[in-house]
Amino acid sequence: MISSVVDDFVAPPCYGEIRVLYQDADILLIDKPSGLLSLSGKNQLNKNSVHSRLEQGQLHGDLSGQAFSSAILIHRLDFGTSGIMVVALNKRATSLISKQFQARTVSKSYIAILEGQLSEDQGIIDFPIAKDKPNFPLQKICYETGKLSRSEYRVIERLQDPARCRVQFSPQTGRTHQLRIHSFKAGHPILGCDLYKSECSEQMAERLLLHATELQFDHPGTGERIYGQSPCPF
């Protein structure tokens, strides 16, 4: 018997705007708001996304009305995650940057606020991650079928009342939900996370407190190292 996975998630309206941080003939660097899908879902109610807005020219400011019909998303950010993304504008750029992601030469940094206090100021979380098919869209830690997953972290601020810590993450792999499930498994879920949470961590923030702050890669046209940044809003 073949079981089908049903995704009944319907994204609430997102009024946050996409900011274009950089533009040339090959790429866009954009700042994604929290609460916006990266790609449109199969459900007709989930058509609003980064990709659809770029295709339809639903941007603001100097690029208001300008459509990017050739835009290709090379990577994604989770629905609740905000921050920097690179978008390719042609097939050659897509291929060259995709190869960098596959070779793990793209450098990424995130800021998150976690419940409680990590015992060490820096370290590595390396629990293997696998799909939790019966509980889609959840992922799970599995030492038998899970894929190698590494998240370097550094505590940059310790907060009190309630106890929290601001952390910089530098993931060395790019598994689905990696930073969220690693934080949860380490005993310190990211505030506002609806999937990997303690009794109160989700209610401690109005949104997922995870933001992609930096993205480094080689430009597909010039070969120059690109250092993209997006200030953390929390």
pLDDT > 70: percent of the chain: 96
Helix (H, G, I), strand (E, B), or coil: what is residue 203? helix
Q: How far is CA 27 from CA 51, 101, 104, 108, 116, in A?
A: 14, 15, 19, 17, 39
| Residue 213 backbone zone (phi > 0: left; psi -120 to 50: alpha; other: beta) | alpha
- As a whole number of angstroms, the distance between CA 184 and CA 188 comes to 5
Cβ distance 125 to 185 under 8 Å?
Answer: yes
Which uninterrupted H or E stretch holds 19? strand 19-23
Quick one: pLDDT band at residue 1, thresholds 50, 70, 90? very low
Quick one: pLDDT band at residue 10, thresholds 50, 70, 90? confident
Asked which of 2-11, 109-118, 126-135, 139-148 is least confident by mean pLDDT, the reply is 2-11
Q: What is the DSSP string of 89-122?
A: SSHHHHHHHHHHHHTT--EEEEEEEEES--SSSE
Cβ distance 149 to 127 under 8 Å?
Answer: yes
pLDDT in tens, 38-76: 999 877 788 999 999 999 998 877 777 789 999 999 999
- Domains, the chain, with CATH or none: 19-229 (3.30.2350.10)
**Residues facing 153 on adjacent strands:** 123, 169
| Residues tagged active-site | 78
Q: Is a pLDDT exceeding 50 seen at residue 226?
A: yes
Helix (H, G, I), strand (E, B), or coil: what is residue 37? strand
- As a whole number of angstroms, the distance between CA 203 and CA 116 comes to 14
